[in-house]
Structure 1
Amino acid sequence: MLLRLAYLGITNAFALLRLLPGSDGDKDAEILVLRHQPAVLHRQLDGQRVRFDPADRAWLAALLHQLPRPSLHRLRLLVRPNTILRWHRDLLARRHAAASRPRRRGRPRTVRSIRALVLRLVRENPSWGYRRVHGELLTLGVTVAASTVWEILRAAGIDPAPERAATTWAQFLRSQAEALLAADFIETITLTGTRLYVLAVIEHASRRIRVLGATAHPNTAWVTQTARNLVMDLEDTGWRVKYLIRDRDCKHPPLFDAVLADAGIHVGLSGVRIPRMNAVMERWVRPAGANCSTVL
């Protein structure tokens, strides 16, 4: 249509240039001939409708819509003046419809930060359904529809709450990684043949290892002091630790657990068959307080 309209515009422009050198008499004669030709066509058509291409309609509407209605009625046209005006209204309607058409179909995509917040809430609270997450978002001042939350969870491949209510040990570790430490003694031998015991803790979130100290005699006083030093370091850095996992090594005295408990850190004991306790824990065995009566 655009190519056809451009062609009509160019040909009529050249026709207008051809008329400029002519005299008024020549132009009047040509106008009379052109007015007579539609009358001949009307007689031959005998009431049949003339079909116009979209480009022809656009061209005629652009030229004639500015003329007053009486002037349109005086013209010898193959269509009625009201038809010309209707063509012009249709052109304007299509133009406005094309300008206001959205670039992307459907509802706008949810903001990425909201999607990340929804997935984080579900990851840290596996028992929450989409309606509970929707309520928490409203509490935080995030206004979204409950169906939007459901769509976000479905797109991420997250099952409904009843199917993921049971929390596994691996899920607990991932959800509580920021507040989880694991402690263990490492034995090493120096170049002089001295055996040293190194007490270290690992942060599950960052995998950072803190070496609390090394000694050849890990007695109760030394181990307890390392626990105090650990608590002071955590308070200085603002690290919010809630859990510390350790094995059943008898080098951990009861005071070690007591110092951590006073700081709000719960101590849990790992199972005896977990060789990589600092990497991944499988389950809590029982609360701290092992039946260990001797400390080196």
Structure 2
Amino acid sequence: MTIFLATLAGWLNRRQLDVINYLHAENEILKEQLEKKDVKLALSNTQRRKLAKCGKKLGRKGLMQYASIVTPDRILYWHRKLVALKYTAKRKIQTDRQKEMETIREFCIKFAEENASWGYGRIQGALSNLGYEVSETTVGNILRAAGIPPSEERMKKSTWKQFVRSHMATMCVADFLTTEVWTMRGLVRYHTLFVMNLAKRKVQIAQISCQMNGQVMAQVARNLTDSEDGFLDKMEYFVCDNDPLFTNEFCETLETSGVKVIKTRVATPEQNGYAERFVKSLKEECLDRMIFFGERSLRKAINEYVEHYHHERNHQGLDNLIPFPYASETKGRSGSVVKFERLGGLLNYYHRENGEEERLAG
């Protein structure tokens, strides 16, 4: 029995050593791969603490034999440093004034970034309106520390985002999207051109066709700039990408009507982000979830979605409000909840009916 136990113990020790040797070899291979790709390990304090705690038990001799990620001296250094920090680390005591200065700093940066013409004095006044009293020097120090230049320099570097936000009431954006439709000739690609009023998030489908060319686009431009019911009436800017379908004749027609055409840079879809967002929403919520047989079915789906987009869909960019809600609805908690469906339940909208109307109807 004694011989058996001794044999079993020896076998277990060899088994454990084999496991350790395998893990050691595996770590060395991983380390070589990282060094080959010139990647350095970025260990967190938690990971360092774990290695230091385990390495302390092995001692220097054990670390020399098994450590492969870092050197034994480095692990022991971490251990000494962690022990020292236990007794020398300083606690940060934040007073009420320090907390208030953090808030003031955030507002200073926010005001400067959103208002290029605001100088130190104007920002100081805005802070005073909110109940924070600081000097102009303090405002200047905060902005310089954040790398924000004075108002004179900021006004020279107006960003595209600032331009769009300041002209949103008189700006429209446009884009194309394509959809494959089954016809008698097989799959046919249809182009849909839409125009969006940024301030109101109002969308108009300008054209749906499988044959887009210069003549069609010229007629679309005349429709958009019609003096009586043109969608671009009272608009000053028309933003689009460099699609060849936005022909010179199309742009000249808009320019003649007083609408300046601004084409975004090539391969920068973020400059037309509002239009790109509408395309994504339309595809994800509607078009990509349907199969179309004929142009009529495509037109019906797109028109239904635009109605849903205007009157029933909440917009995160408008503080989660609906652009053109139905007047007959109520936001109170009285009245029954009604579900309204479009496209067979693909687009749903829930609202409460007016309790007084329900009572009279009953």
Larger C-alpha radius of gyration, 1 or 2?
Answer: 1
- The structure whose RCO (Cα within 8 Å, separation 6+) is larger is 1
Q: TM-score range by the shorter chain?
A: 0.3 to 0.5
Task: Give the TM-score normalised by structure 2.
Answer: 0.34
Task: Give the TM-score normalised by structure 1.
Answer: 0.41
